[in-house]
Every structure is written in structure tokens, then in C-alpha cells.
Amino acid sequence: MTKEERVRAAEEKKLQREKAEAADVKKVKQWEKGKFALKSIIAEIDAKVVELGSIGGHLLTRLSEKGLSFRIKSNPIERSIVWTMSVPEEISQLSSEGAEVSYIVLVYEAEDFCNLVNGSFLEHVDGVRRLYPSHTICYLTNRLMAYINKREQEQYKNPANSNGWRRPPVEEVLAKLTTHFVRVHSRQCVDEAEVAEHIVGLTSSLASCQFRKKLSRLSVSANGSIIPKDAADRNLMKNNVWLRALVAIPKVQPRFAIAIWKKYPTMKSLMRVYMDPNKSVYEKECLLKDLVTEGLVGQDRRLGEVCSKRVYRILMARSGSIKTDDIEDGADFFRS
């Protein structure tokens, strides 16, 4: 090979390597955004679920129709369904995103669930929590209330053939799941089709939520949900992200947010002043105190030093555990 050919070959090899690296980066970004979520999630179904009458048939059919992967195996807890994410090897080496799905469903036919309630239901819950301490637990029942009503009618019509059957305290037990446990709840389905639809929908949701951005108080409150319904500028705030963020700061009233917005129409314009090294912290804390707000009865009032300090300390916070309720006392900024 001539010198020019060697240079050309080296450039082509470098170009191919760069293309391969770009393709890998693209795959990782797609994975972290959840593009492969539905293809990667696997429902691990205990064999007892498939054996539950017609539930198994409906469930496997719907999972196949939706193109969702599943495995039938013997799980540590009978009648359970757990989920895993199969991370492609080339992505697992490049991405730090985890693949744990912390959710478990226990599927019961009505009669079996009633027997569990009459027996040791709460001990069963404790046993599941010991094996899956970080999981959310859901007890899924099929035709529960229809079964109980049918048995009660049979008992009423023919008491002699009731075999001493008594209505199990299902309402009391299900209420205890809410009042006595954390991340333990129940779901009642009217038939096998609803059971299958619920698990299919749950599988899709569990796949996508692994890659969803975690919500903070600010992200939840700043969507406009805390804007008072009687606020005069409610429509303006709902359509302005900066105003919604200001109102999400504790004790910053809508009229205070409007006053700040009129002086600093964007967060960038306010942060530019806050980041000015030529200003002292005290000057920055008091930056907004003289802004004029429109009073409720037409009288103009100043924003005040307390509100000004709140805005500064929230926007310039270095820790998520700071408090703003101690501003009036002049207490330490970073006291937790």
C-alpha cells in the first residue's frame, strides 16, 4: 500500500469506529428514555396463576396479543407475578440505569381469597414483605363480591345446605391493608377478562415508569395545581412556567409572583442578578423586597423582606433539606 492508501484506510477505520460509537451512544440514550421498555420487561408468572380456572388462558392470550414477554415458573410466593427487565448486554456495559421492578401481584380466585382471609391473611402479608421488602404488593381478586353474594343468597334460601359457611370479613381485612401497611393494597376484578387487562396494563406501566423522571415537590406543585381557583391572574399563571414555579415556593402568593414576574420576566433574568459576584448575599436576599404588589382592595403594598428572602433561598439552595420557615428569626440558612 502506498502512503496515501494507508492514510485513507486509517481514516476509513476511524470513521467506522466513530459511527459504531455513535450508534452505541444512540442505543443507550434510547434505552434511558424507555424506547425499549416494552420489549425488555418480562412478567414472571407463577404456575399456580395459570392453573386458576380460565384466568391463565385469558392472561396469556392478552400478553401475547400485546407482544409482551412472560415466563411461567415456580415463584417463591405461590400465585404471584413479578417483573424483571432484560437489559441488552451492550447497553448494560454503558448505561447506569437500573432494571429492578419493585412490584408483585398475588392473584386469587374468590374462594381461595376467602379461605385466606378466614385463616392467616395478615401473616401472609408479612411473609410476602419479608421476601420482597422493597416491593409494592397488590392482592388481586377475581369475582370476589359476586362469590360472596352468591353464597349468602344460597345460605338464605337453604340454610340446611350452607355447611356452616359464614361471610368472611373481607372489607375489614382490605381496609387494614390501607391503615396498617405501607405499599400494600388490593384490586378487585369482576371477571377473568378484567384480571388479564389489569395485568397487561400494569406490565406496560411498570415498563415505562422505570425511565420516568422522578417527581419532586416543585415539579408536582409547579404544574399549576396549587394556584388558587379565585386568583385574578389564574389563566396567566397556568400558561407561564416561571409564574407557576414562583407560586410553588412556600408562602409566595400569586400577587407576589406577579410582582416578581413584572420586574424579572424570566428565571434567567433573576438568576443573573443572584449570580452577580459584586453583590453581597444580604443585597441579593433583599433584592425583591421593594417590589410593589397590587393589594386585594386596591392598595399597593411592597413585597417585603421575608418573601424576598424565601425566593432567594429556594432558588439558590444547595441542599434539598433547607427550611424557609425560620427566615423571620434570622436563623442559619442551611439548618435542617
Kindly indicate the confidence band of residue 330, based on its pLDDT and cuts at 50, 70 and 90: very low
pTM (two decimals): 0.61
Burial 46-57 (b: 16+ CB within 10 A, else e): bebbeebeebbe
User: Given pLDDT bands bounded at 50, 70 and 90, which one contains residue 96?
Assistant: very low
Q: Which residue has the higher pLDDT, 144 or 12?
A: 144
Tens of pLDDT, residue by residue over 178-216, are 888 889 999 999 999 999 999 999 998 888 877 766 666
Confidence at residue 331, expressed as pLDDT on a 0 to 100 scale: 37
Top pLDDT among 210 and 219 is at 210
Question: Residue 236 has what pLDDT?
Answer: 76
Is the pLDDT at 326 greater than 80, yes or no?
no
What residue ranges define each of the domains in the chain, with the CATH number in brackets?
33-209 (3.40.50.10130), 217-329 (1.10.150.670)
107-121 in b/e form (b: 16+ CB < 10 A) is bbbbeebbebbeeeb
Mean per-residue pLDDT, 143-151: 91
In the predicted structure, residue 92 carries a pLDDT above the cut 70: no
pLDDT number for residue 274: 92
Task: Say which range, 48-52, 241-245, 265-269, 323-327, has the weakest mean pLDDT.
Answer: 323-327
Spacing of C-alpha 265 from chain mean position: 32
Q: Using alpha carbons, select from 177, 171, 120, 182 the residue that is nearest to residue 144.
A: 171
